[in-house]
C-alpha cells in the first residue's frame, strides 16, 4: 500500500461557487497560502443567479473587475408593476426606479453566474498561484479542539478525494426542448436529490492510492452550497420554514407583444399566478413563473413532483398569466424549477476555525436576486479577517465578528424574503373587502422598501472590537459577544461629527481629485480590496493656520515610534503593507503641491521616490464635475479622522484633535510587530 | 526544386504596428479574408508612442476596447508651463487643462504602445481567424495594371519570405544601464540604419523552398513604418524637411523634488534647452529632453552621432534643464533618441489598389503625441471603405476618398508639428527686444490652439461622394477629385438645420435613453464600428400629430421596395447588415412603447423577435443625468435625418420631409443588390 500524501495549508476552501471564489480571491490578493476544491469537474456555463446588487458591484470593483460585470451585464433601470384591472385584465399600474437614485455609483444589473465566476477565476489567477482544483472533494474532517486557540497550529485535518472525470461530471444536466438539448439547473436544484454521497461512494470504489490526500489546515471554509457537506460534518443545522410555492424559471429569447419585456416587471394576474420578468444580456429574458397558486407540499418530502415539470409546461403557465399578451420563444438557454424555504444556520462556525458561508448557511427564494450577492458578501466579510490573522497582524478574536455581522444579515434576508415571497405569490385582492387577497398597494410599498434592502447598501454592522460605536455588541449583532478584548482600549466614535458617514456602514463614495495630477477618482477607487486598513484624514482647508497646525500634530502622533503605523507594521515591510494613511483636504488645489504636506501622507521609497497617490483634494474637476465630498458626507470645517476596514466598512469617526484614539482603536485587536523603539527606517531622500 | 505555394487573399496588410493592426481589426470586424505580416518576430513590449487622443479613444471604444485603454492609462488632466523668471530660474508660469473640457467624453491619456497593440491583437483574435504572421516579409511586389478596375481580379502579386526566428529578432535592442540591461528604441529610431535590406539578404542566404510563398491580393496596405518597403516598391516619395533638433527620451521612475512631476509639463530653461514631462502608468514618467540647443546636421547623412548618446548623458541634460530642482532615477524602463523631420507622401496609393498608411506616408516629431494616433486613424478611415468594396456593397470610386481625406490631415499635422517643434526647441526670449528667442506668450497660445488639433476632434473631411456638402471636393480635400460619380445623384446637406452636427466631422456624442428599457447610452456606444452605415432619424416629439405624420411617411419611403434599405442590402442578409436605421425621439418616454413606432425602427426576426435596440429618447435618466442631445446638437423641433458613416463621420444632414434624399445619397456609390421588385421578406409576426 502506498503512502497517502500529507501537506499543510493555511486556508482550505470547499466549494467554488460565488462564496468560495470570493474567499479565494481575498486569499490571492492577500498572498495567503490557500487551496480551493470543488466536487464538480467544470464551472457552470449558464443559468443560476443573475442579479448583482449595487453593493456587490462596488465590491467587485474593489477587487478590480467590477467594470467587466458592468460592461457585459444588462442594466435594469425601471420596475413596471402590472396588475389586473376591474375587468381582470393585466395593466401597467406603476413604475419605480429599479435602484434608488443616489445610493451608489452603480445600479443593479443582471449577468449570469457563469460569467461572474469567470471574472473571479481570472482575478485569482492574476494575483496568485491558487487554482480551483476541480473534481476534488473532502471525505473526512477532524478538528483538534485542544489546538484551536494556538495561532501556529493546523488543528483541522481533512482527507481529500480526487474524482475521475466521469465522476465529476454532473448527471441530468440537460433536457430536450424544441429538438435541441438545453442545459437545465435541476441537478443543482433542491427539487433534485443531492448527489454528494453518490459521488463519494463511487469514488471509493474506484479509489487508487493517489486519489486521496490528507491536508492539515489552519482555517477551513465550507462554501459548498445548500446541501453543505461541511455543515453536516460539523453538526450545524439550518432553522426555518421548509416549504414555498413552486416556481419555474425560463431563460429565453422571447417573441412577444408584451410591451415591457425589456423592463423588470412584477406581474400579478387575477387568477393564474404571478411572473417576474428579468431582462438579461444578449436578448435573453428570465421569467420566474409561478407554477402553483397555493403553497404545495406534494409528497412526504415536501417536494413537488419533478417529472411533471418541463419547459413547455412552464411556458404554458406564463402564457396564461400574461394573457391577453402573447409570448413564445425559439431559443431556450436554460431552465429550472424550485421550491425553496427560508432557513438560516444557528451558528456560522465552530471554534472560529471552520466557517460556513453562502447557501451553506442560508437559503431562500431566488426572486429577490439576493442569493449570490449575500453569499459573496459573507466571504467578503470573512476573507480579510482570516488573512490578517494568518499573517499575524491581528488577534484571532476578530474572527468572532464574522458570525455577529453576517448572521444578522442572513436573518434580515430571510425575513425580507419571507414577506416578499408571500406578497408576490399571493392572489391580488379583488377589492378592499377581499381579505385573503394581497393588496397591490401593500405590494408596491414592500417593493420600494425592499429595494433599499436589496441594494446591499443598507448593511450596518453592530458594535464590536472593529466597529467602534456606542451600544452593546451583543444587542447590535446576532447575540455573539464581540466586544473589545481589552476594556482599556474601548474607543467610541463621535458619530455626530459627520452626518454622511455611519459607523458600521460602508463609507459612501464621491469623487475627489488627486493632488499630484488633478485626476478625479471615486473615493472607493482608492480603497481597493487588498487587505489594508485605511486611516483617512479629512483635514479641511489646510491653508488655514488652525487646520495646518492640527494636521502637523496629528502627523507627529502618526509618525511616532509607538504609533499604530510603527507598532503594527511588520519590520521590513513596505510602509503601507498594513495601513494606508490618506489625506483629503479642502485647500485650493493650485495653491499647494504634494510636497507641502507631512511626509506620513507621501511616504518615501528609495527606488520609487515619493508616493504621489495618497493626497486628495475636494475640488471641481475639469471634466467630471464636482464630487463635493465634504458637503455630501457632512464633514465639518474642523475636519475629522475616519478609519475604514479593508472591506470599506467604517470602523471609527473621530476628531482630528484626538489622533491618539487611532492608536487605541488598533491596540484593541492588532498584534505588536516589534519593540517600540525599533521603528521602521526610511531611505535617504533626494 | 519544390513548388512555391500560391494563394489568393482579399486584403494583404504589411506591418503590424498601430496602422496595420487597425486595418486588420476592420477586416476582422467586417469578416474580410485578410492576412497581416510583420518582419519582426515579436511585438514591442515597452517604449514607443504613448499618447492617446480623445478621438482615438472614441475610435478604440467603437471597436470594443476603449475601456481597456482608459482603465490602464494614466490620465493627464493639466499642463503646467514652466519658464525662466527674471533671474533665469524656472517657475511655473501657467496651467492649462490638458483636454479642452466638453469636446469628447474621453480625455487624452497615456499608455505605452505595446499595451495598445495587445488590445488590437485580442480584438482581432476575438472577431476572426486573422493572426499576425510574424517573421514574414514581402520580397517582391507586382501590380497588373490592366486589371485594377476589375472588381473580381487579384491584380497584386506579392512574394512573401518567412524568416527564421533569429533573423526576425531585432539586433541592438538593449543597452546596459545601472548594471541592468534596458530595452531601447534605437533599432527603430531614425538614428539607426534601417535593417530591411539586411534581413532580406540574410533570408535569401538561408532560403529554403518552403520559406517563400506567393500571394495574389485584391488590395494591399503598406503599414510598414517610416522606412516603408512598400512605399519604395511603388515608387512613392515623402516630401518635406529632413532635419530637426536632437531629442532624447527617458522612461523612468523619477526620484525628484520637482513638484509637478505627475503633470504634463513643458519646461523651457533659460539656456539649457527644453523638457517635456509626460507622466505615465505605473509610476513611470517619460521625459523628452532636448540634447542640442541648435538644429544639428552632424555628418553628411544629417544624422547625429549615435555612439555618444546614452541614458546617462540624456539624464545629465535633464538635470541641467531642471535645475535648481533635482532629478535622478533607479528604474529605467526604456530610452531612445531621435532626430526627425516633417514629411508627407505625395500620393497615398497607386491605382487605389496598394495604399500606404501611418508612418509610411508621414513622419514628424513624437512630442505632440500624434504619430500613433494619426497612423491608426489613417487605416480607420480606409478599412471600412475597402471592406465595403470587397464585399460588393460599394463602388471602388469611394476608395479615392482615402487620399483626399487623409492626405490633408497629414499636411495639417506636418504644419502643426513644424510650428510646435520650433517653439518648443527654441530658447525663450529674454524680453520683448530679444527677437531670436521664443515668446512664451506665443508658445502658450500655440499650445492652447494645438490642443484642439491634437485632440483629433477637429478633423473635418471635405466634400465627396460620401460627404454630402457644399463646395468643390478638390478644394476641400488635398486636390484629389472625389466628387460623386454620377451627377444626377448629387445630394447636398442642409447644414443650417442643426448647429451642432457638422457634415464631414464625427457626430458628437451625448446620452440618450433606450426606449425599451430606459438605459442611458452615449450615442457613440450605439454606433460601434462594424461596417454599418447609420441613418439616424431625430423625429422630435412624435406625440405631436405633425411629427408623427412625417415619421409615418418617412418610414414608408424607407420601407419601399426601391428604398436604399431594400436596394443595397444583399438578399438573405440580416435586415441591418448594411444599414442601421435608428430613431431618437423626444416624446415623453413613459407615454409610448417601442411597439408604437414604425416597424422600420424595430425590425422583426423569426428567431429573435422584435429588435429592441434601435429606438431612443432624449430624456433625463434616473442615475446619469440628462444628455439633452436635441439641445446640445441644436436639433430643430421639426427633427432631421442624419447619415453617419461606418467611421462615425457625418455624411449628410437633411429634413425629415425629404426622406428620398437618403436614397439619392446612397445611389451615388452603392451597388444594387437585386432587382427592385424582390425586396427582402420579413418573417411572420406574433
Ligand atoms: C437551481 C438554482 C437556481 C438559482 N437561481 C437563482 C437566481 O435566479 N438568482 C439568484 O440570485 N440566485 C439563484 N440561486 C441562488 C444562487 O445561485 C446561490 O445563492 C449562490 O450560487 C450561492 O453561492 P454559494 O457559493 O454559497 O453556493 P453554490 O453556488 O451552490 O456553490 C457551491 C459549490 O460547492 C460545490 N460543492 C458542493 N458540495 C461539495 C463538496 N462536498 N465538496 C466539494 N465541493 C462541493 C458545488 O459543486 C458548487 O460549485 C439559484 C440556486 C440554485 C441551486
Ligand atoms: C523610436 C521611436 C520612438 C517613438 N516615440 C513616440 C512617442 O513617444 N509618441 C508618439 O506618439 N509616437 C512616437 N513614435 C511614433 C509612433 O510610434 C509611430 O507614429 C507609430 O508607431 C506609427 O505606426 P505605424 O503602424 O505607421 O508604423 P510602425 O509602428 O513603425 O509599425 C510598422 C511595422 O511594420 C513592420 N515592418 C516594417 N517594414 C516591414 C517589411 N518590409 N515587411 C514586414 N513588416 C515590416 C515593423 O516591424 C513594424 O512592426 C515613435 C517612433 C519611433 C520609431
pLDDT, tens digit, 9 for 90 and up, residues A447-506: 778 888 889 999 999 999 999 998 888 888 888 888 765 556 679 999 999 999 999 999
Task: Report the C-alpha gap between A313 and B631 in whole angstroms.
Answer: 51
Q: How far is the CA of B196 from the centre of ligand 1 (A)?
A: 59
Confidence class for position B163, pLDDT limits 50, 70, 90:
confident
Is A642 touching B (CB cutoff 8 A)?
A: no
Ligand nearest to the CA of B286: 2
- Closest-approach residue (CA) in chain B for A605: B255
Q: In what order do the strands lie in the sheet with B285-290?
A: B90-97, B78-84, B264-268, B274-279, B285-290, B247-256, B327-338
B631: pLDDT strictly greater than 90: yes
Q: Is B389 helix (H, G, I), strand (E, B) or coil?
A: helix
List of chain A residues whose C-beta atoms are within 8 Å of the C-beta of residue B64: none
| Model pLDDT, residue B287 | 95
Q: How far is the CA of B444 from the centre of ligand 2 (A)?
A: 30
What's chain B's average pLDDT? 89
Ligand nearest to the CA of B158: 2
Q: How far is the CA of B38 from the centre of ligand 2 (A)?
A: 11
- Which tops the pLDDT comparison, A671 or B246? A671
| Model pLDDT, residue B410 | 94
Across B250-278, average pLDDT: 95
A545: pLDDT strictly greater than 90: yes
Percent of chain B with pLDDT strictly greater than 90:
71
Task: Report the C-alpha gap between A135 and A139 in whole angstroms.
Answer: 13
Do you find a cis peptide bond into B518, omega within 30 degrees of 0? no
Q: Which of A219, A288, A329, A402 is catalytic?
A: A288
Nearest partner of B71 among B35, B119, B26, judged by Cα = B119
Do you find a cis peptide bond into A324, omega within 30 degrees of 0? yes
Distance of residue A260 Cα from the nearest chain B Cα, in angstroms:
7
Task: Report the C-alpha gap between B496 and B643 in whole angstroms.
Answer: 15
Across A386-397, average pLDDT: 97
pLDDT, tens digit, 9 for 90 and up, residues A402-436: 999 999 999 998 888 888 888 887 788 877 778 77
Distance of residue A28 Cα from the nearest chain B Cα, in angstroms:
21
Which of A41, A188, A224, A231 to mutate to test ligand 1, by most ligand atoms within 8 A of the CB atom?
A224
| Model pLDDT, residue B205 | 52
Cβ–Cβ under 8 Å, residues A262 and B516: yes
Task: Report the C-alpha gap between B80 and A65 in whole angstroms.
Answer: 34
Percent of chain B with pLDDT strictly greater than 70:
87
Q: Exposed, middle or buried by CB within 10 Å (0-12, 13-18, 19+), for B224?
A: buried
CB contact under 8 A, B330 and A607: yes
B125: pLDDT strictly greater than 80: yes
DSSP secondary structure string for all residues of A575-593? TTSSEEEEEEE-S-GGG--
Nearest partner of A98 among A441, A448, A422, judged by Cα = A448
- B473-667 folds as Glutaredoxin (3.40.30)
Number of inter-chain CB pairs under 8 A, A vs B: 119
A644: pLDDT strictly greater than 90: yes
pLDDT, tens digit, 9 for 90 and up, residues B354-395: 999 999 999 887 777 788 999 999 999 999 999 999 999 999
CB contact under 8 A, A328 and B686: yes
| Model pLDDT, residue A282 | 86
Across the interface, of A593, A609, A622, the residue whose CB is closest to B101 is A622
Q: How far is the CA of A268 from the centre of ligand 1 (A)?
A: 28
Q: How far is the CA of A365 from the centre of ligand 1 (A)?
A: 12
Q: Is A377 helix (H, G, I), strand (E, B) or coil?
A: helix
Task: Report the C-alpha gap between A102 and A223 in whole angstroms.
Answer: 33
- Which is it for the CA torsion B602, B607, B608, B609, positive or negative? positive
| Model pLDDT, residue B202 | 59
Confidence class for position B298, pLDDT limits 50, 70, 90:
very low
Is B436 touching A (CB cutoff 8 A)?
A: no
CATH superfamily of A6-455: FAD/NAD(P)-binding domain (3.50.50.60)
A542: pLDDT strictly greater than 60: yes
| Model pLDDT, residue A103 | 95
Percent of chain A with pLDDT strictly greater than 90:
71
Reduced DSSP (H G I as helix, E B as strand, rest coil) percent helix, strand, coil of chain A, to 5: 30, 25, 45
Closest atom of ligand 2 to B370 CA is: 11
B299: pLDDT strictly greater than 50: no
C-alpha cell at A93: 399600474
Confidence class for position B424, pLDDT limits 50, 70, 90:
confident
Residues 6+ apart with CB under 8 A from B360: B15, B19, B222, B223, B224, B225, B226, B228, B230, B231, B345
Chain-centroid distance, C-alpha A307: 35
Confidence class for position B302, pLDDT limits 50, 70, 90:
very low
Terminal CA-CA length for chain B = 66
Q: Which of A366, A520, A598, A659 is catalytic?
A: A366
Closest atom of ligand 1 to A185 CA is: 1
**Ligand 1, CB within 6 Å, residue ranges:** A 14-20, 37-40, 48-51, 113, 137-138, 185, 188-189, 196, 223-225, 229, 336, 338, 358-360, 366, 369-372, 375
CB contact under 8 A, A77 and B107: no
Distance of residue B103 Cα from the nearest chain A Cα, in angstroms:
10
- Closest-approach residue (CA) in chain A for B67: A67
The total of other beta-carbon atoms located within 10 Å of residue B194's CB is 15
Confidence class for position B209, pLDDT limits 50, 70, 90:
very low
Ligand nearest to the CA of A195: 1
Cβ–Cβ under 8 Å, residues B314 and B212: no
A570: pLDDT strictly greater than 80: yes
| Model pLDDT, residue A489 | 67
Instruction: Give, in order, the Cα–Cα distances in Å from A317 to each of A81, A191, A296, A326, A336.
Output: 19, 19, 16, 12, 14
- B6-454 folds as FAD/NAD(P)-binding domain (3.50.50)
- Which tops the pLDDT comparison, A205 or A654? A654
Give the ipTM of the model, two decimals please: 0.91
A280 is catalytic: yes
The total of other beta-carbon atoms located within 10 Å of residue B684's CB is 7
pLDDT, tens digit, 9 for 90 and up, residues A308-344: 789 999 999 999 999 999 999 999 998 988 877 788 9
| Model pLDDT, residue A608 | 95
Q: Are strands B354-356 and B212-222 parallel, antiparallel or unpaired?
A: parallel
A677: pLDDT strictly greater than 90: no
Domain boundaries, chain A: 6-455, 473-667
Q: Are strands A90-97 and A78-84 parallel, antiparallel or unpaired?
A: antiparallel
Residues 6+ apart with CB under 8 A from B496: none
C-alpha torsion B216→B219→B221→B222, nearest 10: 50
List of chain B residues whose C-beta atoms are within 8 Å of the C-beta of residue A622: 77-78, 97, 99, 101, 107
A1: pLDDT strictly greater than 80: no
Residues 6+ apart with CB under 8 A from B488: none
Which of B251, B371, B376, B409 to mutate to test ligand 2, by most ligand atoms within 8 A of the CB atom?
B371
Confidence class for position A243, pLDDT limits 50, 70, 90:
low
Instruction: Give, in order, the Cα–Cα distances in Å from B174 to each of A479, B17, B171.
Output: 65, 20, 8
Task: Report the C-alpha gap between B572 and B587 in whole angstroms.
Answer: 35
Element (H, E) at A522: strand A520-522
pLDDT, tens digit, 9 for 90 and up, residues B329-348: 999 998 988 877 788 999 99
Mutation to test the B interface, candidates A107, A623, A625, A682, most B Cβ within 10 Å? A623
Residues 6+ apart with CB under 8 A from B486: B667, B668
- Which tops the pLDDT comparison, A429 or A517? A517
Task: Report the C-alpha gap between B214 and B157 in whole angstroms.
Answer: 7
| Model pLDDT, residue A427 | 80
Confidence class for position B301, pLDDT limits 50, 70, 90:
very low
A194: pLDDT strictly greater than 80: no
Is A319 touching B (CB cutoff 8 A)?
A: no
pLDDT, tens digit, 9 for 90 and up, residues A144-172: 999 999 999 999 999 999 987 777 766 54
Cβ–Cβ under 8 Å, residues B565 and B558: yes
Confidence class for position B303, pLDDT limits 50, 70, 90:
very low
DSSP secondary structure string for all residues of A417-476? HHHHHHHHHSPBPSSTT-SSSBPHHHHHHHHHHHHHHHHSTT--PPPBTTB--SS-HHHH
At A81, phi and psi to the nearest 5?
A: -100, 125
CB contact under 8 A, A517 and B75: yes
What's chain A's average pLDDT? 89
Residues 143-162 of B with CB under 8 A from A: none
A50 is catalytic: yes
CB contact under 8 A, A517 and B255: no
CB contact under 8 A, B75 and A283: no
pLDDT, tens digit, 9 for 90 and up, residues B9-49: 999 999 999 999 999 999 999 999 999 999 988 766 566 77
Is A45 touching B (CB cutoff 8 A)?
A: no
Residues 87-116 of A with CB under 8 A from B: 95, 97, 99, 101-102, 107
B291: pLDDT strictly greater than 80: yes
**Ligand 2, CB within 6 Å, residue ranges:** B 14-20, 37-40, 48-51, 113, 137-138, 185, 188-189, 196, 223-225, 229, 336, 338, 358-360, 366, 369-372, 375
pLDDT, tens digit, 9 for 90 and up, residues B492-518: 999 999 999 999 999 999 999 999 999
List of chain B residues whose C-beta atoms are within 8 Å of the C-beta of residue A99: 622-623
Residues 6+ apart with CB under 8 A from A34: A9, A10, A11, A12, A13, A24, A27, A28, A130
Residues of B assigned a catalytic role: 50, 280, 288, 366
C-alpha cell at A333: 438557454
Amino acid at each position: 500500500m502506498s503512502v497517502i500524501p500529507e501537506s499543510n495549508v493555511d486556508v482550505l476552501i470547499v466549494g467554488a461557487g460565488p462564496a468560495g471564489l470570493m474567499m479565494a480571491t481575498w486569499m490571492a490578493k492577500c498572498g495567503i497560502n490557500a487551496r480551493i476544491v470543488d466536487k464538480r469537474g467544470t464551472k457552470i456555463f449558464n443559468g443560476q443567479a443573475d442579479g448583482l446588487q449595487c453593493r456587490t458591484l462596488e465590491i467587485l470593483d474593489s477587487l478590480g473587475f467590477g467594470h467587466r460585470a458592468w460592461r457585459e451585464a444588462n442594466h435594469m433601470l425601471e420596475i413596471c408593476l402590472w396588475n389586473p384591472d376591474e375587468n381582470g385584465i393585466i395593466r401597467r399600474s406603476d413604475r419605480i426606479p429599479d435602484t434608488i437614485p443616489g445610493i451608489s455609483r452603480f445600479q443593479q444589473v443582471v449577468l449570469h453566474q457563469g460569467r461572474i465566476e469567470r471574472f473571479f477565476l481570472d482575478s485569482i489567477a492574476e494575483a496568485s498561484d491558487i487554482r480551483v482544483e476541480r473534481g476534488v472533494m473532502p471525505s473526512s474532517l477532524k478538528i483538534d479542539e485542544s489546538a484551536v486557540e494556538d495561532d501556529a497550529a493546523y488543528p483541522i485535518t481533512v482527507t481529500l478525494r480526487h474524482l475521475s472525470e466521469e465522476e465529476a461530471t454532473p448527471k441530468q444536466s440537460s433536457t430536450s426542448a424544441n429538438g435541441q438539448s438545453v442545459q437545465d439547473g435541476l441537478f443543482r436544484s433542491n427539487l433534485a436529490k443531492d448527489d454528494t454521497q453518490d459521488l463519494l461512494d463511487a469514488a471509493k470504489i474506484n479509489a487508487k492510492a493517489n486519489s486521496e490526500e490528507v491536508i492539515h489546515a489552519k482555517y477551513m471554509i465550507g462554501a459548498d452550497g445548500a446541501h453543505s457537506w461541511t455543515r453536516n460534518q460539523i453538526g450545524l443545522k439550518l432553522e426555518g420554514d421548509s416549504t414555498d410555492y413552486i416556481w419555474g424559471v425560463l431563460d429565453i429569447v422571447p417573441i412577444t407583444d408584451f410591451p415591457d419585456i425589456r423592463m423588470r416587471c412584477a406581474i400579478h394576474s387575477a387568477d393564474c399566478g404571478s411572473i417576474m420578468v428579468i431582462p438579461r444580456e444578449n436578448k435573453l429574458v428570465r421569467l420566474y413563473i409561478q407554477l402553483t397558486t397555493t403553497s404545495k407540499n406534494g409528497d412526504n418530502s415536501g417536494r413537488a413532483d419533478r417529472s411533471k415539470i418541463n419547459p413547455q409546461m412552464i411556458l404554458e403557465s406564463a402564457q396564461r398569466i400574461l394573457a391577453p399578451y402573447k409570448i413564445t420563444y425559439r431559443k431556450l438557454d436554460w431552465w429550472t424549477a424550485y421550491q425553496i424555504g427560508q432557513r438560516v444556520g444557528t451558528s456560522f462556525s465552530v471554534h472560529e476555525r471552520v466557517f460556513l458561508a453562502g447557501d451553506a448557511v442560508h437559503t431562500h427564494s431566488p426572486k429577490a436576486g439576493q442569493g449570490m450577492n449575500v453569499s459573496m458578501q459573507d466571504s467578503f466579510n470573512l476573507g480579510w479577517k482570516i488573512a490578517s490573522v494568518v499573517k499575524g497582524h491581528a488577534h484571532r478574536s476578530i474572527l468572532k465578528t464574522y458570525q455577529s455581522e453576517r448572521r444578522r444579515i442572513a436573518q434580515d434576508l430571510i425575513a425580507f424574503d419571507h414577506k416578499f415571497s408571500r406578497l408576490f405569490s399571493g392572489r391580488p385582492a379583488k377589492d378592499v373587502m377581499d381579505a385573503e387577497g394581497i393588496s397591490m398597494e401593500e405590494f408596491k410599498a414592500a417593493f420600494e422598501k425592499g429595494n433599499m434592502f436589496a441594494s446591499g447598501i443598507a448593511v450596518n454592522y453592530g458594535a464590536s472590537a472593529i466597529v467602534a460605536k456606542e451600544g452593546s455588541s451583543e444587542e447590535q449583532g446576532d447575540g455573539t459577544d464581540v466586544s473589545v478584548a481589552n476594556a482599556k482600549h474601548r474607543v467610541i466614535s463621535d458619530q455626530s461629527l459627520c452626518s454622511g458617514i455611519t459607523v458600521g456602514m460602508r463609507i459612501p463614495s464621491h469623487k475627489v481629485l488627486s493632488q499630484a495630477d488633478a485626476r478625479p477618482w471615486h473615493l472607493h477607487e482608492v480603497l481597493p480590496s487588498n487587505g489594508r486598513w485605511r486611516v483617512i484624514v479629512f483635514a479641511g482647508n489646510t491653508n488655514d493656520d488652525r487646520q495646518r497646525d492640527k494636521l502637523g500634530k496629528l502627523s507627529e502622533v502618526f509618525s511616532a515610534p509607538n504609533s499604530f503605523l510603527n507598532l503594527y507594521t511588520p519590520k521590513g515591510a513596505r510602509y503601507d503593507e498594513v495601513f494606508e494613511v490618506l489625506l483629503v483636504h479642502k485647500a485650493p488645489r493650485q495653491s499647494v503641491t504634494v510636497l507641502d504636506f507631512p511626509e506620513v501622507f507621501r511616504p518615501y521609497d528609495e527606488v520609487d521616490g515619493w508616493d504621489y497617490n495618497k493626497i486628495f483634494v475636494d475640488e471641481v474637476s475639469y471634466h467630471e464635475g464636482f464630487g463635493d465630498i465634504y458637503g455630501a458626507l457632512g464633514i465639518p470645517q474642523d475636519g475629522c479622522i475616519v478609519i475604514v476596514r479593508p472591506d470599506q466598512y467604517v470602523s471609527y469617526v473621530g476628531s482630528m484633535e484626538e489622533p491618539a484614539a487611532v492608536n487605541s482603536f488598533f491596540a484593541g485587536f492588532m498584534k505588536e510587530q516589534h519593540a517600540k523603539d525599533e521603528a521602521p527606517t526610511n531611505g535617504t531622500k533626494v
